[in-house]
Amino acid sequence: MIRLTVAAALLLSAPALAAPAPDGIKDAWVRINPAPGRPAAGYFRFTNGPRADRLIAASTPGGRVELHTMTMDGGMMQMRKLDGLDVPAGATVEFKPGANHLMIFGLTTPPASLPLTLEFASGAKVSVNAPTRSPAAATAAPKPAMGHEGH
Ligand SMILES: [Cu+2]
């Protein structure tokens, strides 16, 4: 009974369409490819709300964004376009180097940061401003000090 009450309260307090919370996109960043004409890659993570949803698209002003994944194909890592990604209720989704990522085409002058909007099958759209990094800066980015990662 208590559990039911809590679940009902969560449903009532959740925005009708929201997948992750509107401010729920964490650690978003974009790796700029310094080679002319090559796409940038976008990374982030979020934790879904109490309803299952499906990430169906991403967008940015002035560019075109695809959802990509990496798969092993004949012993080689291959990039593949995703039509979408199912997101179970409460699941944490991470887009990161070597795994799922956003592929961002058509950026002419890489900005210092890039607004990214994730679109969900529920109709929810969640935006985040992702700082951009050059590969050198990305490589040199310090890892969190041991013992501080969980804080
Ligand atoms: Cu890709």
Threshold 0.75, pTM exceeds? yes
Over residues 127-139, the pLDDT tens digits come to: 999 999 987 655 5
Give the position of tokens 């790796």.
Answer: 31
How many angstroms is it from 146 CA to the middle of ligand 1?
A: 31
Show me where the domains of the chain are located.
17-134
Residue type, 112: A
φ and ψ at residue 9, rounded to 5 degrees:
-65, -40
φ and ψ at residue 29, rounded to 5 degrees:
-155, 160
The arrangement of secondary structure in 17-134, i.e. its CATH architecture, is Sandwich (2.60)
How many angstroms is it from 50 CA to the middle of ligand 1?
A: 29
Cβ neighbors of 15 (< 8 A, separation 6 or more) are: 22, 124
Over residues 3-34, the pLDDT tens digits come to: 555 555 555 554 445 578 877 899 999 999 98
How many angstroms is it from 126 CA to the middle of ligand 1?
A: 21
